[in-house]
């Protein structure tokens, strides 16, 4: 892992490894209860890290528990609150606009058993399920899933479908109860609630931009070119909201340092192969002198790379950046600046 400039041993432990150490230390049953509360991507990431850990240093265990106790000491429990308490707390912390988006996503949880099941499925299987459905139903599914999974599902769908789906995702705002009922029938699941259920906010240009950012370069270009011909204004809006690798220039130094702690050196080297000098220098200046020199040597020693391999490495780093932004650990700048 790449060390943050001037950091000690505490900062050198990646987040996933900290979580894995903590769960291994508390035992099988408590760990299982914790994992039940996590989403599929987090379970897979932390579970894979747990399986890979073979030799845990005693000092690392101490560091993890010290950080955990410190975090718990400074954290207020949410179990005592009501929906209004949570809403007010988020609004105070994030502002009304950002809080509204999070609350909308939270409010979907009670009525999305079928959709939540999809999150645990293979992307190809999801594409097979929705392939024959109405494009609006496809768009609702694509908009609800995490952006990287949505991008993978979209890549498995026929080229002729992709543009229509992305336009519908970008133009989605709220979902009517009858649309959720139709989706319920497709997934053969029961949604909670009744016919008086309120409309749910889902989709939009930011969701479309996140999905586009996760697509392979060739598919992204194909869809954007076609979208520009169909609706140039919508295409411009989506492009303005897309956070691409070059936008890391707009992330502050503390954010870059936090990001580097979560990125494997071998991935960073390949990603920087396709970066301009300004972005490379920003990365170097946020590392220790020794780490920066080693990275420069690795870059010089790296031979020609396939464009697809470089793009894949950059997208892997962007996935980490968006996850950290969603957790509030960093703020993504650029034209689409906001806390995700």
* Mean pLDDT lowest among 4-8, 148-152, 179-183, 216-220: 4-8
Average pLDDT over residues 280-292: 92
Q: Does position 196 have pLDDT exceeding 90, yes or no? A: no
Residue with the bigger pLDDT between 71 and 267: it is 267
Q: Model confidence over 118-136: pLDDT tens digits?
A: 777 778 888 888 888 888 8
Mean pLDDT of 317-335: 76
Low-confidence winner among 51-60, 63-72, 83-92, 149-158 (lowest mean pLDDT): 83-92
Helices 15-26 and 58-73, packing angle to 10 deg: 90
> Is pLDDT of 6 > 70?
no
In this predicted structure, the answer to whether residue 223 has a pLDDT above a threshold of 80 is yes
Please state, for a pLDDT cut of 90, what percent of the chain lies above it: 14
Q: Is pLDDT at 270 greater than 90 in this prediction?
A: yes
> Mean pLDDT throughout 330-340?
50
CATH 1.10.220.30 region(s) of the chain? Answer: 112-241, 245-326
Q: How many CB atoms are located within 10 Å of the residue 121 CB?
A: 16
* Residue 12 token pair: 């050198």
More confident residue, 94 or 287: 287
Q: How far is CA 189 from the centre of its chain?
A: 26
**CATH says 112-241 is which class?**
mainly alpha
Domain 245-326 has CATH 1.10.1040.10: no
pLDDT value for 72: 63
Who has greater pLDDT, 43 or 178?
Answer: 43
Q: Which is nearest to 180 in space by CA: 143, 131, 126, 209?
A: 143
Report residue 131 as tokens. 């392939």
Q: Is 315 exposed, middle or buried (0-12, 13-18, 19+ CB in 10 A)?
A: buried
């Amino acid at each position: 892992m790449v060390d943050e400039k001037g950091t000690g041993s505490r900062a050198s432990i990646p987040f996933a490894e900290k979580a894995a150490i903590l769960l291994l230390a508390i035992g099988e049953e408590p760990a299982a209860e914790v994992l039940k509360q996590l989403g599929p991507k987090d379970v897979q990431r932390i579970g894979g890290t747990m399986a890979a850990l073979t030799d845990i240093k005693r000092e690392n265990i101490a560091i993890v528990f010290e950080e955990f106790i410190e975090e718990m000491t400074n954290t207020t429990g949410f179990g005592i609150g009501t929906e209004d308490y949570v809403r007010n707390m988020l609004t105070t912390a994030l502002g009304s606009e950002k809080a509204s988006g999070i609350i909308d996503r939270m409010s979907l949880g009670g009525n999305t058993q079928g959709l939540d099941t999809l999150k645990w499925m293979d992307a190809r299987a999801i594409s097979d399920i929705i392939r024959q459905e109405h494009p609006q139903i496809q768009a609702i599914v694509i908009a609800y899933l995490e952006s990287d999974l949505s991008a993978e599902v979209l890549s498995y769908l026929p080229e002729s479908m992709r543009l229509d789906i992305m336009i519908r995702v970008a133009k989605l705002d709220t979902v009517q109860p009858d649309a959720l009922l139709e989706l319920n029938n497709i997934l053969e699941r029961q949604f909670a609630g009744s016919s008086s259920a309120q409309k749910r906010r889902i989709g939009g240009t930011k969701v479309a931009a996140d999905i586009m950012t996760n697509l392979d370069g060739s598919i992204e270009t194909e869809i954007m070119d076609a979208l520009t011909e169909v609706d140039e204004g919508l295409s411009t809006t989506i492009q303005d909201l897309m956070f691409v690798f070059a936008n890391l220039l707009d992330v502050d130094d503390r954010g870059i340092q936090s990001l580097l702690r979560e990125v494997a050196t071998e991935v960073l080297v390949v990603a920087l192969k396709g970066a301009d000098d300004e972005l490379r220098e920003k990365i170097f200046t946020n590392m220790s002198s020794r780490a920066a020199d080693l990275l420069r040597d690795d870059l010089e020693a790296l031979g020609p790379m396939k464009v697809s391999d470089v793009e894949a490495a950059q997208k892997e780093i962007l996935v980490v950046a968006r996850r950290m932004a969603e957790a509030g650990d960093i703020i993504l700048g650029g034209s689409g600046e906001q806390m995700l």
